């Protein structure tokens, strides 16, 4: 069972890195607000679960917040990225 959790985290990171590569190259125009918001809720949930003693099973939740956070940070250097609330 642990292998499936780890495999899911690795797959999430691989696909996230593919998009991050596009952000770095300037091929995509990410909305910084969206990526930041997509990272906040899962990271709060992961921190709460970890503080309650959950360990490995919180990894997919953490990755669902960490990958958008990485893309948000990378988008800060992308000149095509924008801030828009809609």
Q: The pTM is what?
A: 0.89
Please give, one letter per residue, the 3-state secondary structure of 13-43. Answer: HHHHHHHHHHHHHCCCCCEHHHHHHHHHHHH
Residue found under tokens 């899911």: 8
pLDDT at 60: 92
pLDDT for 83: 93
Q: What is the pLDDT of residues 48-80, one digit of tens each?
A: 999 999 999 999 999 999 999 999 999 999 999
For 5-55, the pLDDT digits (tens) are: 999 999 999 999 999 999 999 999 999 999 999 999 999 999 999 999 999
Radius of gyration of the chain (CA): 14
The residue whose two tokens read 């679960």 is 49
């Amino acid at each position: 069972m642990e292998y499936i959790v780890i495999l899911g985290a690795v797959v999430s990171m691989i696909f996230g890195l593919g998009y991050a590569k596009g952000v770095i190259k300037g091929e995509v125009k990410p909305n910084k607000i969206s990526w930041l918001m997509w990272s906040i809720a899962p990271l709060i949930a992961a921190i709460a679960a970890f503080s309650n003693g959950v360990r490995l099973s919180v990894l997919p939740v953490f990755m669902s917040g960490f990958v958008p956070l990485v893309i948000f940070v990378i988008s800060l250097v992308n000149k095509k990225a924008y801030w828009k609330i809609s």
